[in-house]
Structure 1
Amino acid sequence: MKLFPFLILVVVASISNMPKIHAQQFVESSTGRLPIFNEYSSQVAIADVDGDGDLDLCFANGRGFSSASLQERVRLLINDGSATFSDESQARLGNLLGYGRDVEFGDIDGDGDLDLAVANDFLSTQKLLVNNGSGFFTDESATRIPQFAMSSAHCSFGDVDDDGDLDLWFTRGGSSRFGSGQAQLWINDGAGFYTNETASRLPAQLVSEPMDCIFGDLDGDLDLDMLEGHRAGNSKLYRNDGGIFVDITAGNLPGDSNTYSYDLGDLDGDGDLHVFGANSGVGSREAVFQNNGAGSFTNVTSTVLPNSSNPNVDDNDSKFFDSDNDGDLDVVICRIGGPERLLRNNGNGTLSLFNGALSSVSDSSLDIEVADLDG
């Protein structure tokens, strides 16, 4: 179970104006900053929900790994501007209970504030909440998104048809996120009302144990392609052709083994996006896939991230960010049963484990985010 105290280790540390130092940079600071709840948190999202200029936190909660256990509340924690948070979930979200696996923010109706999508597991309906502009949300799922029971581990906002509004992609499993199902693509009408256009825009195929989905322009043609990470292996790469997605996995995405998440970033400064996969490599190590610039990837893990910096442990998520302000992207990783890790970019796109950068806290970590929470 992932508890709140682990998260603040990573997200509360300010990365602004950080010098290039070779000592601990991120200190575990949960006490006094975060409310304490004993809840099963699968994902955290960071956004300024109330328009006051600082970043707030939202947690997807719900107990149960492969079978449903207990519905829990989506939590919304409001920042006072100095990275001290108060729980205002009930007042701002209402009684939002479920088997939450992911929370994502996006402006669905073009009114300048951030609305909230929730991916729910265990054959539940998905949720879409509309922000009133001051950080108070109304659940308008019944009228705005398709309503049928499905099991989802992740959702992503992206403008797939280049019409200026945000569409929604949901992963879909079977009776749980670990089953097999058809990915879902719901198209925005511009006012924040969604139509299920999966059948006309996605290949008709079931995928096994989908855990993550991430949009990015992978081939440099200025539209959003899709990468889905699957715990059962056989992750998928979809090329966007005018809002229609084509499965180009074969020959373009290296095989993976046990993917929990993917992240995209330009490791070597060549202008295209690389893939970093948590648990995607041999023996459930991390994997790094290099882009040829046209959206075809090669597994370069052995040269970019040698085993000496890539232990065989139970990692769940990673994020690219420039930890030392040297102009290149480093990677931070969270894991179950051990401390988080920082991989420092050597300046040439290779990565090395950098010890002492994070407080050593052993916990059950499922997600990691990086942001300047204290200004």
Structure 2
Amino acid sequence: MRANPLVIVPTVLAVTTLAVADLPRSLSFENQTAARVNPTVAEGSSNEKEVEFGDLDLDGDPDVVMAIGSSDFGERRNKLYFNDGGVFNEASGAPLIPEFSSSDVSRNAFIRDYTGDGWPDIYIINDSNSGGFAGSDKMYVAQHSGGVLTGYSEEGATRIPSGGALGAACGGVSYDFDGDGDWDVYSGNYPGPSQDRGLYNNGTGTLLDVTGTMVPPDGDYTVDVALGDMNGDGKMDLLISNHSTNYIYYNDNEDAGSGPGDFRYAGSTQSLGSAAANENSMETADFDNDGDTDFYWSNAIGNSDRVMRNDGTNDDNEAVLASLNILPGSVTGVTSRKASIADFNDDGRVDVFVANQSGTRPTVLRNTSAAGSISFVDWTPKPAFPNNGAYNGWHAAAFDTNADGDVDLLIGAFSGDHLLENTRANEVTEARIGSTLPDFFN
């Protein structure tokens, strides 16, 4: 393990006022929940959700699966929404997917074609240790006839090692780590047991446990896992958020491992420091368009979100990272949850939506980076995101919900699911943003 050559860059955050003419396109959202989201069960106020989108029925519209970690449903009920021309209709449970409404503590949902038959399946990472609702990971294999999706068969008992009973999971990712053309799974665990797990696909949808040969030994509490090519070698690396030391696990860096997909070899890990102020999740993107993968670090402990700028690689082909304290108080003075990254205003720079747990509303951060300097302004439209905590939650999916060419938000909030349509109006007006322009850019 090598220490990260981490540079802390102190920055005085000043109030920023931008002229509308300086911005290529405005950014605004409108709440379309009542017209376009049709759940089957009313919700209370304590539903923790991870939101995943993908085209389940191959009709060209992205559908949504929500993994629910805790809830006031009476049971921890995962959710499936079909997108019918921009309207999201819930189809959880019988007859389509009867096992979906189970009392599992679900952490992640992945929509991938694990079996290679051309139809996306659903994988759910579950926590087998929480709350007395012990649950194994689940794989819901798509059933189809005549080009039509007919339902799902839960086959985790035969397709996942140990019948899916993989321990105390808290986060994970799904990607083709070994480059063989099929989807694999990485599960981050906390004590009981704490060892993260690597599950690699044999090509037919059966996952093989490669933890002992491909995953570094781990005794920490893994909170979340992210993906990013941190050293620019074309292989996807892992970013591990822990309760103590955080890491980058490099995928076969400089061919030092046994091949693609190997994260367990001498020098495979790079420390990102302790979690005194960094504990929740990391999301990767190239914020300054310099060709290197940066990441946004949102924090449930320490109240200090930050941006980590990638300044290239060192002699060991590891990322050289600078920690930038450049973010507004709307994300540094609250308990942030997961960030979602997309170019919301089509200006060629990726923006950030930050889910919120403790504050009054989530935050939309507009990317105003220029000339290699990363910067963001708080661009949260007040009419769309009222200061009443209604949209507080763990995660949102950022995607084009209605095929109009821009990126919307589907928020899995504690109190319900909220669809915010990206209006991308041609002009910023004070009536639309609910504030004067100088206030709005703070």
Bin for the TM-score computed over the shorter chain: 0.7 to 0.9
User: CA separation of 1:145/1:60 partners in 2, compared to 1, >3 Å: closer, same or farther?
Assistant: same
Indicate which of 60, 63, 67 corresponds to 1:53: 60
Q: 1:199 aligns to what?
A: 212
| Per-residue deviation, residues 98-145 of structure 1 (Å, max 9, x unmatched) | 111211111112222211111112433111111124162110101101
| Per-residue deviation, residues 180-234 of structure 1 (Å, max 9, x unmatched) | 60100011101110111100111222122x221122222111112111122x242
Contact 1:73 1:95 in 2 (8 A): no
Is 1:346 equivalent to 2:363 in the alignment?
no
TM-score (norm 2): 0.72
Is 1:328 equivalent to 2:332 in the alignment?
no
Amino acid in structure 1 at the alignment position of 2:207: Y
- How does 1:75-114 map onto structure 2 within 5 Å? 75-96=79-100, 97=102, 98-114=104-120
Is 1:262 equivalent to 2:282 in the alignment?
yes
Q: Greater relative contact order: 1 or 2 (C-alpha under 8 angstroms, separation 6 or more)? A: 2
User: CA separation of 1:135/1:183 partners in 2, compared to 1, >3 Å: closer, same or farther?
Assistant: farther
Contact 1:78 1:88 in 2 (8 A): no
Amino acid in structure 2 at the alignment position of 1:61: I
| Per-residue deviation, residues 28-47 of structure 1 (Å, max 9, x unmatched) | 22224231432723211111
Contact 2:284 2:294 in 1 (8 A): yes
| Per-residue deviation, residues 277-309 of structure 1 (Å, max 9, x unmatched) | 11178x32212111233342423322xx24556
Q: 2:224 aligns to what?
A: 212
Indicate which of 305, 310, 318 corresponds to 1:286: 305
Q: 1:300 aligns to what?
A: 323
Indicate which of 39, 42, 45 corresponds to 1:37: 42
Amino acid in structure 1 at the alignment position of 2:84: D
Contact 2:68 2:76 in 1 (8 A): yes
Contact 2:114 2:120 in 1 (8 A): yes
Q: 1:10 aligns to what?
A: none
Amino acid in structure 2 at the alignment position of 1:362: G
The runs of 5 or more residues in structure 2 that have no matched partner are 1-22, 130-134, 253-258, 404-442
Indicate which of 153, 158, 180 corresponds to 1:163: 180
Indicate which of 56, 60, 63 corresponds to 2:70: 63
Amino acid in structure 2 at the alignment position of 1:273: T
Tell me the SS of whatever aligns to 1:328: coil
Contact 2:227 2:239 in 1 (8 A): yes
Indicate the structure (1 or 2) with the bigger Cα radius of gyration.
2
Indicate which of 127, 130, 147 corresponds to 2:141: 130
Is 1:373 equivalent to 2:401 in the alignment?
yes
| Per-residue deviation, residues 133-183 of structure 1 (Å, max 9, x unmatched) | 4162110101101122512122211111111111110111134xxxx6010
Contact 2:368 2:377 in 1 (8 A): yes
Is 1:237 equivalent to 2:253 in the alignment?
no
User: CA separation of 1:217/1:149 partners in 2, compared to 1, >3 Å: closer, same or farther?
Assistant: closer
> Partners in 2 of 1:121 and 1:280 — Cα distance?
19
Tell me the SS of whatever aligns to 1:227: strand
Amino acid in structure 1 at the alignment position of 2:203: G
Q: 2:409 aligns to what?
A: none
Q: Percent identity of the aligned residues?
A: 24
Contact 1:254 1:299 in 2 (8 A): no
- After superposition, the CA RMSD in angstroms is 2.5
> Partners in 2 of 1:74 and 1:309 — Cα distance?
30
User: CA separation of 1:101/1:228 partners in 2, compared to 1, >3 Å: closer, same or farther?
Assistant: same
Contact 2:356 2:394 in 1 (8 A): yes
> Partners in 2 of 1:106 and 1:30 — Cα distance?
27
> Partners in 1 of 2:30 and 2:218 — Cα distance?
45
Tell me the SS of whatever aligns to 1:245: coil
